[in-house]
Structure 1
Amino acid sequence: MWVVPEKEIAGLMTPEAAFDAVEAVFASMASGDAYNFPVVREAIGHEDALYGFKGGFDRKGANLGLKAGGYWPNNQKHGLINHQSTVFLFDPDTGRVAAAVGGNLLTALRTAAASAVSIKHLAPAGAKVLGMIGAGHQSAFQMRAAAGVHGFEKVIGWNPHPEMLGRLADTAADLGLPFEAVDLDRLGAEADVIISITSAFDPLLMDGHVTGPTHIAAMGTDTKGKQELDPALIARARLFTDEVAQSLSIGEFQHAAAQKTISDSDVIAIGRVITGNHEGRGNAEVTIFDGTGVGLQDLAVAGAVVELARQQGKAIEVEI
């Protein structure tokens, strides 16, 4: 089997490569060539940790496996980040383990790639202003990925803790883009594309905030009760996601579904747009992509990084 350590990922996997891998696997899901397995996620009763598995099989990409890991909120005392994961790939022809890949940076890259895929396919024509809701660790990955697929001219941002907005300003500066901190009223009115990346359990972006043609990527933590967007905003938008069932159960669309203002048939798999089986934005004023994060995304970027690591001599081969 091949081992690609976490320390090697930054020098191997680029946002562009992550984008290509995620776009391809979304298309495979839509065409029936790939499917996700049921997610297991448990509080283990130790160190307040949440641990779980996400997996699947992509026949077209020949990726079979799972990502194991979760959230350890007390990791600071160990000098580690809170999110820890490893991706395991298996040979779909024999069942033998094929690779173990550090999954921490890959998770950040694949999450950002998913929102970038939605922006490429669903952003309104002539979009110039990118709005960012949230300024945590993932926000920088999100902004960089968005700027990589669309020519934004300005970034505006809001965060519940304003002292953290420096991360957005610094990232925008690195990208050569002006940045301005604004309130949510202005952000909803001025941004053509909005990325929401928070762990909120109450709506932040309200229906009345959003005016004019807008695309929203709701990328915050997905679990029972999570909520970043007003259900009334969701009810009037054209809705897209990575996996419909997951979006309606633990994703951004769960509350509108519970209120019965939307139904399963209102939510469209983004892969259908990629493959040309859905028109995408069409004449909709507001589109929303709910990125819930699926195991196939992890397998896609892990498979790509293993190939890069082998080509560059950075993969370690071990016998088991």
Structure 2
Amino acid sequence: MLIIPESLIADLVTPEDAHAAVEAAFAAMAEGEARNFPVVREALGEGRQYGFKSGIMPGALGVKSGGYFPGNAARGMINHQSVVILFDPETGVPRAMVGGNLLTALRTAAASAISIDRLARPEARVLGIVGAGHQAQFQLRAAARVRRFERVIAWNLHPEMLPRLGAVAAELGLPFEAVPLERMVEADAIITITSAPAASLMAPHVAPGTHLACMGTDTKGKQEVDPALVASARVFTDEVAQSITIGEAQHAVAAGSLRAEAITPLGEVLTGAHPGRRSPDEITLFDGTGVGLQDLAVAGIALRRAEERGLGIEVLV
């Protein structure tokens, strides 16, 4: 088995690699060639979350183990910590253990950007971001690769964190402004990327025709967006089973204001089975819960590149 530590990942997998891999995973899911296994997710207290996401796709079988540990920032570490284990899908023999922190950030941002690329209005020019943690910077960079935004507006519960996001916008040549939530109505596309237990983005904060990429809710009880806003939107997701149980849609579905059957896998838009946005005025919403197949896809790239370059640590198992 090859151990590929976190320190090697940045040289093995690019954001462009992640985008292509996540698109392929979405399409394979829509075409019935890949499937995720049920998520195991446990609360450990004090905001800590730990779990497993796993699945199988052509050429890959594996699991990502890890979670969210909010005390890490004070220790000089990122809050999300994970590792991906890849197995041979024919024999079950372990093939690799791959550092999952950067891979998770890249694949999450790629999923959001794919939704913006496929569902936001062609004339979208203002990007809104709700949240300013570690992942928000990846989200901004990925969104800027797929659309020519003219400016960025952002809100965070702790406004002192926003300058870091503003620095990324400056690197990209985009004007940046910290705004109250009420001014999110100026945005054509909004990314929510928080770890909130209660909704912050409400229906009056969102203009008709906006695309929402809701990327922070991946656990039962978490919530970023007003359920009434979710129910009023045309909802897409990475996987419906996760969307209605641990995703942003869980609250609207539980309230009976959104039917699971009304939620469309984004992969169906990629394959042409669903038209996606149907009018300039409708609000589209991507419920990005994060699926195990995304992790397997990007970890597979890291493994292939490491083998080609003779990198990593070989161990006997």
1:19 aligns with 19
Describe how 1:188-227 pairs up with structure 2 within 5 A: 189-227=185-223
Query: Could you tell me which of 61, 65, 68 is aligned with 1:64?
Result: 61
Please say if residues 128 and 153 of structure 2, whose CA atoms lie closer than 8 Å, have aligned partners that are also in contact.
yes
Task: Return 121-130 or 50-59, whichever deviates more.
Answer: 50-59
Describe how 1:1-320 pairs up with structure 2 within 5 A: 1-43=1-43, 49-59=48-58, 62-75=59-72, 79-187=76-184, 189-283=185-279, 285-320=282-317
Letter in 1 for 2:31: S
* Amino-acid identity (%): 62
Letter in 2 for 1:57: I
Cα distance in 2, alignment partners of residues 212 and 267 from structure 1? 19
Number of aligned positions between the proteins: 316
Letter in 1 for 2:278: G
Cα-to-partner distance string for 1:2-59 (whole Å, 9 max, x where unaligned): 22111001122111100111110011111111101111123468x9853321100012
Please say if residues 217 and 248 of structure 2, whose CA atoms lie closer than 8 Å, have aligned partners that are also in contact.
no
Cα displacement (A) at 1:287: 0.2
> What SS does structure 2 have at the residue aligned with 1:170?
helix
Cα displacement (A) at 1:209: 1.7
Letter in 1 for 2:50: Y
Distance 1:198 1:32, change over 3 A: same
Cα distance in 2, alignment partners of residues 75 and 289 from structure 1? 29
Cα displacement (A) at 1:109: 0.9
> What SS does structure 2 have at the residue aligned with 1:204?
coil
Cα distance in 1, alignment partners of residues 231 and 62 from structure 2? 36
Please say if residues 213 and 286 of structure 2, whose CA atoms lie closer than 8 Å, have aligned partners that are also in contact.
yes
Cα distance in 1, alignment partners of residues 224 and 105 from structure 2? 19
Cα displacement (A) at 1:120: 1.2
Cα-to-partner distance string for 1:90-110 (whole Å, 9 max, x where unaligned): 111211111110011111111
Please say if residues 190 and 210 of structure 2, whose CA atoms lie closer than 8 Å, have aligned partners that are also in contact.
yes
Letter in 2 for 1:186: R
Letter in 2 for 1:296: L
> What SS does structure 2 have at the residue aligned with 1:169?
helix
> What SS does structure 2 have at the residue aligned with 1:70?
strand
Cα distance in 2, alignment partners of residues 259 and 49 from structure 1? 27
Q: Which runs of 5+ in 2 are unaligned?
A: none
Cα displacement (A) at 1:78: 6.0
Cα distance in 2, alignment partners of residues 9 and 146 from structure 1? 21
> What SS does structure 2 have at the residue aligned with 1:144?
helix
Cα displacement (A) at 1:256: 0.8
Distance 1:82 1:202, change over 3 A: closer
Cα-to-partner distance string for 1:154-211 (whole Å, 9 max, x where unaligned): 1111111111110121010011111011121211x21111000011222211112212
Letter in 1 for 2:42: E
Task: Return 225-234 or 13-22, whichever deviates more.
Answer: 225-234
User: Which consecutive aligned stretches of 4+ in structure 1 deviate over 6 angstroms post-superposition?
Assistant: none
Distance 1:44 1:169, change over 3 A: closer
Distance 1:306 1:138, change over 3 A: same
Cα-to-partner distance string for 1:51-84 (whole Å, 9 max, x where unaligned): 321100012xx11010112234444676543322
Cα distance in 1, alignment partners of residues 65 and 287 from structure 2? 22
Superposition CA RMSD, Å: 1.7
Q: Which runs of 5+ in 1 are unaligned?
A: none
Distance 1:86 1:256, change over 3 A: same
Distance 1:25 1:248, change over 3 A: same
